[in-house]
Structure 1
Amino acid sequence: MTQWFKAKGWRPFDFQLEIWARMAAGESGLLHATTGAGKTLAVALGAWQALREPPEGLTVLWVTPMRALAADTTRALSEALDALHALDKAAPRWTLGLRTGDTSSSQRAAQSRKPPTLLVTTPESLSLLLTRENAQAYFADLRCVIVDEWHELIGNKRGVQTQLALARLRRFRSGLVTWGMSATLGDLDAAKRALLGPQGAGALVEARLKKKLVIDTLPPAAPERFPWAGHLGLKMAPQVIAEIEAHANTLLFTNTRSQAELWHQQILRLRPDWAGSVAIHHGSLAQEERDAVERGLKDGALKAVVCTSSLDLGVDFLPVERVLQISSPKGVARLLQRAGRSGHAPGRASRVTLVPSHSLELVESAAAQSAIRKGRIESRVSPVAPLDVLAQHLGTVGLGGGFRPEELLAEVRETVAYEGLSDENWRWCLDFVRQGGPTLRAYPEYRRVAPGPDGVWRVSDKRLALRHRLNIGAIVADASVMVQYFPRGQKLGVVEESFIARMKPGDKFWFAGRLLELVTVRDLTAFVKKGAGGGATPRWMGGRMPLSTTLADEMVETLARAAAGDADTPEMRAAQPLLRLQQKWSALPTPQTLLAETLKSREGWHLFLYPFAGRNAHLGLASLIAWRAAQITPGAFSLAVNDYGFELLSGAPRDWAAELPRLIDARGLDETRGEVIESLNASELARRRFRDIAQIAGLVVNGFPGERKSARQLQASSSLFYDVFRKYDPDNGLLRQAEREVLEDELEVRRLYEALIRMNARRLDCVALRRCSPLAFPLVAERFRESLSTESFNARIERMLAQLNAAADS
């Protein structure tokens, strides 16, 4: 390896030498290094050196979170292995394979007959490999597993799926060497523990390289004093175009697929001469479309690409000069990850520039930079014992040779996700996969895994086995409709069925950077032709990301410094018109104070509260406080939330200032949890959540090829199960999980409770407003947005702005 490095004019970093030595000694561990530092070469060459004997069968397994990253990793490893073999002809020859959802059936068949010695795959495809009846024999020669971009998996159910697969592989092969790689993690010890298991010993290697990182902001020409979500947005396009023009190539990251489509349209509207050199990339586009964009980036043929998190990860785009982040990234780790897309090589500087969509995002940018200087990065926590993923895993292992319950329970408890799994929940899962639980035992289709005479539990029904394999995985989304040119033309990608369901033939919409006209919808395929004029932009579910706790806390500290007269960054100087007016009319939040504002208007009595706990927690807090207020004096309330705070509006008189201390009282986590359930239509939220859980657990399935179910059918099926379980099986594990996930994930009830604790510990700073403050205005705008048409909303906002700006100027 050192010979190859010399031939390339490189010198190994200390962390790479350490990785090679540890892998040669048979150690496992986690490598944490900045993007572009050489993690892939460190671990790949370490495995190659440690396993010098001629490999037989599948020897090294490489797991990545995304198919695009898997394909790029395969190309990079192929180039490295070819170069190493060229330098050392006597070295054992390694073969390389790629197995993802994009791999053809012929390639999969070839890999089954003769496995490659190094296989790059994803968590879903790895689980599919574990369903092979001869799974243990297939992995008999496995010596090493490498999990790339571990930070992307650890905090979600795909990470749990990976933990279970790793535990299975360790049971097949004792002493299996396991390494994870990551670039943006807060709690490294917890991340290592989740990778290697509660009892797994391993090394933590950090690459302490000095890599220049530049984070700055593209300030608006005239920062506004009264912001509202997204209003700057496309107004920044001329400045963005100037940045694109000044560089050879640029990545423009957006937080949502809809935003990517809109920005792509706007750039080409202003610069039609860039058609063909500005592309779009997101996860709903067809694989062929994404591949073409990635090749264009690598070849330097594209001037700019508007993208989402689909290009967040380690795909190596060395030529990229410039990275722009449209709107706040909502988290420190996400910003660092995207910064690493530029200067993606050792010794090169990485730079990312934030493009604010409203003036408060100037403060978010300053806070993010402050957090990075202090080394504050969000931690990821593994989900705790999700029964839907466990039920799916039981089906997977039941296909992959079968299991004895007592042995598999010990294996499952070797993962961090299930180390505390109770005997009760384990027995429930076994009963669920054996007969569907007590309410479904009469139906044969729910008898998926059953014990044989030898005591081994297996899946014996071939149709149920096929159904399990077709529906494996922990990614659940709204049912998708393929977009294809009429009558049998190019497939462009997928949009959610709920979007297409609102359209009729002749309607136009933007997708994949094209204006399309709907011709017809048939068999979950939307046939289209090229359109002219204007059209709608698809909206996908799950577009809004809440502000992270780390960034929210840093933002409050940044506002406190501004309150003390400290505005020493370009972002805070640009935000001064807003901040000065907020101080003049009200106050700025600080870590020691809780800012509350009250206002009497023609609409009623307003309360604005700013806990800075993120959108999800604020929804729960607003509902909780409204419910508590109604216990004092019955009444109806309107509410609006954003990442900074929430508004409650009462049509009847309320003395919010007098009631507030009682309304924000922290009464214990369990009591607060119960109140949140009372204050919201929690059962309806849980019903929607249950659909996803039921799909992962295999209770509700998409169907077989050619007979896929629509979103309406899936929702109807899951709702029926939900109602039956609530009535006849209230202790159903999936039902309890749905209720728990609504509280923990959608409403972030623990974060909500911690916010209540902090609110009670701070001095209440209650200000009676004469008119909307700069912080209150976006909440009022948010409430109007939900209730008014676009034209009415714009007219109402313009009138309010005129009045507020006139008052501010006077």
Structure 2
Amino acid sequence: MPAATDLANAWFAQRGWKPFAFQRKVWAAVERGESGLLYANTGAGKTYAVWLAALRAFKAQAQGRHAAPLQVIWITPMRALAADTARALQAPIDEMGLPWSVGVRSGDTGSAERARQARRMPSVLVTTPESLTLLLTRAQASNDFATLRMVVVDEWHELLGNKRGVQLQLALARLRRWHPGLPTWGLSATLGNLQHALDVLLPQGGQLVRGRQDKVLQVDTLVPEHIERFPWAGHIGLKMLKQVSREIDASSSCLVFTNTRAQAELWYQALLEERPDWAGLIALHHASLARDTRDWVERSLKEGTLKAVVCTSSLDLGVDFLPVERVLQIGSAKGIARLMQRAGRSGHAPGRRSRITLVPTHSLELVEAAAMRQALAAGHLEGRRSPRLCMDVLVQHLVSMALGSGFEPQQLLAEVRSTWAFADLRDSQWQWALDFVCHGGSSLSAYPDYQRVEMHPDGLYRVASERLARRHRMGIGTIVSDASLHLKYWSKGGGGKNLGSVEEAFISRLRPGDTFVFAGRVLELVRVENMTAYVRRSNARKAAVARWNGGRMPLSSELADAVVQQLDAAAHGRFDSPEMRAVRPLLTVQAQWSALPTTGTLLAETFKSRQGWHLFVYPFAGRMANMGLANLIAWRVSREQPLSVSIAVNDYGFELLSPGPVDWASYLPQALSTENLLEDVLASLNAGEMALRRFREIAQIAGLVFGGYPAAQKSMRQIQASSGLFYEVFRKHDAGNLLLGQARDEVLSEELEIDRLRAQLLKLTDLRLDLRVMERTGPLAFALLVEGLRETLSTEKLADRIARMVAELESIAG
């Protein structure tokens, strides 16, 4: 066997590879016991940089037939990636003949495998943040992790900006307490704020290693054969079907990304209807499909037997599909990093070209496509920031650490404060969290179920009962979503084949006999019972498409800025890309009837119709921030004169429709002030109702609301009712409850994007207001007008109404 220092070089040489400079740098750093963040393109070789470093550094631990158990923990953000990662780690072990073993621990791990791991852990364990925390709750956890030498956090950018990342920070703090200086490495791509990512992962410091960034990324656009000058969101969509099918036909293997599961279902069915001969050659992949279906799709992609897979973000990350030649993106990716991530699913190997083709679903997305390429060339990537002081996660962590051997408060406090997320935790906040898990705070002390932790005579805090311990283990994690129903075929003898899951909110709107599309099939609802929807096949031609939440992605600030730069160039007569030349007829009408937005102006338009007086404003702030701006302006103006408005928004701007005239030229400048922003935003929106919805998630994470046992899960209605009761009890009798404040803060930061809103207002104050009085609706305003009509008209009536409006405007435009 080669010497330890030659292991990696020898294995690379067997494959005819040469290690890159960044890989050698990581190997040397790990041998010195250092930590860091490795940042490199997708497919550049990050996994082997860190994994071979571990094999080199810890080869001496492999004595006899087996290496010591649990040498390395490999964190992955998705269960779907765990098996693929394990296979990638196993290959060098087998070929080098090392006595290491690789295991997987996630929500999908079977009881037999869990029992084997309980007897002896594998040398390297691939796991998720939730499963790692569960392992830390075992009484013998310190012994289980006694031989740990290294932690690797894969796809760190996917965990950094959410509560799962906070949960992982706390778990890593526990491991570092047992192993001070524990080498920890993060792997990441497509991230704009690397120093922050490094600081959060390694609060005690580490090095940033930049890998290969020279990967060829080809971004092109499938330009529609006909450009409509009055666009509205999604209206092209399936009109691009023939062009997309031709591109798929010309490719050996490709991924067709959509932004929502409903859109994936529609495109998969449409492609099969367009090309019936592709049955068995194309597939569908999204997170709600049954696990065995997803596994089959991923395996077939790897084997190169599928021509195309219509998918969602379920295939965004890390899974290595070498046969994939190109990617098609249906609709805007809404962010530059997301585009790069998806493009990297093709050509997933060093030296291979990645190609992504953008398929617009309305004409203005051609401008976004040109902006994407410009932003990529300039290296403008979105950053992600870690949440701070998530008290619901801290409460859950306290109970988790009280399981098994328990905790000593001051020792655990130091551990918690060692994380980036809780570095500023005040003594009063810590004491509140401790009191809350011990007796439910000031309002729940009479209820035994909320006296979850108690102090024992030895000074350690432990969970009060085995029943509460079992309940807590079932709720560990921070992923909270609307309740899902299992979807199964109906059979007289009982449930048939499992098809996947669908949100309760969608099924609740259907009656037995109604049809819907799922997994590319038209299904008829038979009955619903015990959190399971039973269905049968249907031959109906028209059916609803199963809907899931989570598809609302706002335009990123970086991409929005790039879009405005493209429009500014067009305003000055420059159309430098195929996309901008294609959309020139639309922009010409916009310029003739009104004006084009520029980097130095804030375009606003007024227009009178039979519906009333319209104001259209184009801040290009993304859907959520535009909603905040619209409500803020309407509320501020209403203080000066009685005003009743309806609001419509998209990523580019917003519309305010009032029954009477408003002097917007006078009101707008003062309505865009940042003064008293927080108070005015809270007053302008139904912030109380929004905070109540947000509190439902916080209550579940903090363990106030129990979702039920596997055979008797509570419905979302029951969970909402329970969390609503807690919200009202705390609001009336425990106003200082930190979970209430957290709900308001999360509404402001995540739903209203208050920081982006403030930054946008500051930017707008530097722009010249360009207020145009319109005789008719222009192309930019038309898209907003349709958004408003969606709220009041059925789909068929909306289509008829839009067709008449477009015909009239086209005749005027000539």
TM-score normalised to the size of structure 1?
0.98
**Which whole-Å CA distance do the structure 2 matches of 1:338 and 1:541 have between them?**
21
Match of 2:171 in 1: 165
Work out whether 1:502 is the aligned partner of 2:506.
no
What whole-Å deviation, never above 9, does each CA across 1:229-254 have from its counterpart, x for those lacking one? 10011111110000000011110011
- Map residues 478-489 of structure 1 onto 2, 5 A cutoff: 478-487=482-491, 488-489=495-496
| Aligned match for 2:702, one of 697, 702, 705 | 697
Match of 1:52 in 2: 59
For residue 780 of structure 2, give the secondary structure of its aligned residue in structure 1: coil
Determine what percentage of the aligned residue pairs are the same residue: 59
Aligned partners of 1:616 and 1:748 also within 8 Å: yes
Aligned partners of 1:598 and 1:657 also within 8 Å: no
| CA drift at 1:400 | 4.1
Runs of 4+ in 1 over 2 A off after TM superposition: none
| CA drift at 1:802 | 1.0
For residue 776 of structure 1, give the secondary structure of its aligned residue in structure 2: helix
| CA drift at 1:326 | 0.6
Match of 2:807 in 1: 802
**Which whole-Å CA distance do the structure 1 matches of 2:556 and 2:460 have between them?**
46
Match of 2:5 in 1: none
Work out whether 1:732 is the aligned partner of 2:744.
no
Match of 2:629 in 1: 621
Match of 2:526 in 1: 519
Work out whether 1:789 is the aligned partner of 2:794.
yes
For residue 519 of structure 1, give the secondary structure of its aligned residue in structure 2: strand
**Which whole-Å CA distance do the structure 1 matches of 2:797 and 2:537 have between them?**
31
| Aligned match for 1:637, one of 642, 645, 670 | 645
Aligned partners of 2:11 and 2:92 also within 8 Å: no
- Map residues 578-727 of structure 1 onto 2, 5 A cutoff: 578-667=586-675, 671-727=676-732
- Map residues 14-413 of structure 1 onto 2, 5 A cutoff: 14-53=21-60, 54=62, 55-85=67-97, 91=98, 93-197=99-203, 200-413=204-417
Task: Return 254-263 or 422-431, whichever deviates more.
Answer: 422-431
Instruction: Report the residue type matching 1:700 in the other structure.
Output: V
**Which whole-Å CA distance do the structure 2 matches of 1:678 and 1:203 have between them?**
45
Aligned partners of 1:666 and 1:760 also within 8 Å: no
| CA drift at 1:84 | 1.6
Instruction: Report the residue type matching 1:500 in the other structure.
Output: I
What whole-Å deviation, never above 9, does each CA across 1:283-316 have from its counterpart, x for those lacking one? 1111111001001111111111000111001100
Work out whether 1:748 is the aligned partner of 2:776.
no
| Aligned match for 1:761, one of 755, 758, 766 | 766
Match of 1:775 in 2: 780
Aligned partners of 2:218 and 2:356 also within 8 Å: yes
What whole-Å deviation, never above 9, does each CA across 1:19-57 have from its counterpart, x for those lacking one? 101101100000001011111111100011011122322
For residue 125 of structure 2, give the secondary structure of its aligned residue in structure 1: strand
What whole-Å deviation, never above 9, does each CA across 1:293-345 have from its counterpart, x for those lacking one? 00111111111100011100110000001200110000000000001000000
**Which whole-Å CA distance do the structure 2 matches of 1:583 and 1:425 have between them?**
56
Aligned partners of 1:19 and 1:205 also within 8 Å: yes
The RMSD of aligned alpha carbons is 1.0
Work out whether 1:565 is the aligned partner of 2:573.
yes
**Which whole-Å CA distance do the structure 2 matches of 1:146 and 1:351 have between them?**
29
Aligned partners of 2:613 and 2:659 also within 8 Å: yes
What whole-Å deviation, never above 9, does each CA across 1:541-589 have from its counterpart, x for those lacking one? 1211001111111111111111111111111111101111111111111
**Which whole-Å CA distance do the structure 2 matches of 1:300 and 1:525 have between them?**
35
| CA drift at 1:666 | 2.3
| CA drift at 1:602 | 1.2
Structure 2, unmatched stretches of 5+, are 1-7
| CA drift at 1:216 | 0.9
**Which whole-Å CA distance do the structure 1 matches of 2:812 and 2:552 have between them?**
33
Aligned partners of 2:439 and 2:452 also within 8 Å: yes
| Aligned match for 1:7, one of 11, 14, 30 | 14
Match of 2:4 in 1: none
Relative to structure 1, the CA distance from residue 166 to residue 338 in structure 2 (aligned partners, 3 Å threshold; closer, same or farther) is same
**Which whole-Å CA distance do the structure 2 matches of 1:80 and 1:262 have between them?**
41
What whole-Å deviation, never above 9, does each CA across 1:153-188 have from its counterpart, x for those lacking one? 100111111111111110111121100001111111
| CA drift at 1:223 | 1.3
**Which whole-Å CA distance do the structure 2 matches of 1:401 and 1:513 have between them?**
49
For residue 216 of structure 1, give the secondary structure of its aligned residue in structure 2: strand
- Map residues 528-547 of structure 1 onto 2, 5 A cutoff: 528-533=535-540, 534-547=542-555
What whole-Å deviation, never above 9, does each CA across 1:254-308 have from its counterpart, x for those lacking one? 1111111111111111112211211110111111110010011111111110001
| CA drift at 1:209 | 4.3
What whole-Å deviation, never above 9, does each CA across 1:715-740 have from its counterpart, x for those lacking one? 00001111111111111111111111
Aligned partners of 2:451 and 2:464 also within 8 Å: no
What whole-Å deviation, never above 9, does each CA across 1:649-692 have from its counterpart, x for those lacking one? 1002212222212221221xxx2111111111110011111101
**Which whole-Å CA distance do the structure 2 matches of 1:615 and 1:800 have between them?**
24
For residue 791 of structure 2, give the secondary structure of its aligned residue in structure 1: helix
| Aligned match for 2:561, one of 553, 556, 577 | 553
Structure 1, unmatched stretches of 5+, are 86-90
| CA drift at 1:749 | 1.1
| CA drift at 1:383 | 0.5
Match of 1:88 in 2: none
**Which whole-Å CA distance do the structure 2 matches of 1:672 and 1:494 have between them?**
41
For residue 787 of structure 1, give the secondary structure of its aligned residue in structure 2: coil
Task: Return 47-56 or 243-252, whichever deviates more.
Answer: 47-56
Relative to structure 1, the CA distance from residue 42 to residue 400 in structure 2 (aligned partners, 3 Å threshold; closer, same or farther) is farther
**Which whole-Å CA distance do the structure 2 matches of 1:436 and 1:267 have between them?**
54
Task: Return 727-736 or 29-38, whichever deviates more.
Answer: 727-736
Q: How many residues align?
A: 798
What whole-Å deviation, never above 9, does each CA across 1:336-384 have from its counterpart, x for those lacking one? 0001000000110001011001111111111111111111100110011
Task: Return 204-213 or 759-768, whichever deviates more.
Answer: 204-213
Aligned partners of 1:331 and 1:547 also within 8 Å: yes
**Which whole-Å CA distance do the structure 2 matches of 1:480 and 1:12 have between them?**
46
TM-score normalised to the size of structure 2?
0.97
What whole-Å deviation, never above 9, does each CA across 1:491-547 have from its counterpart, x for those lacking one? 111000011111111111111111111111110001111111131111111211001
Instruction: Report the residue type matching 2:290 in the other structure.
Output: A
**Which whole-Å CA distance do the structure 1 matches of 2:213 and 2:545 have between them?**
43
Instruction: Report the residue type matching 2:366 in the other structure.
Output: L
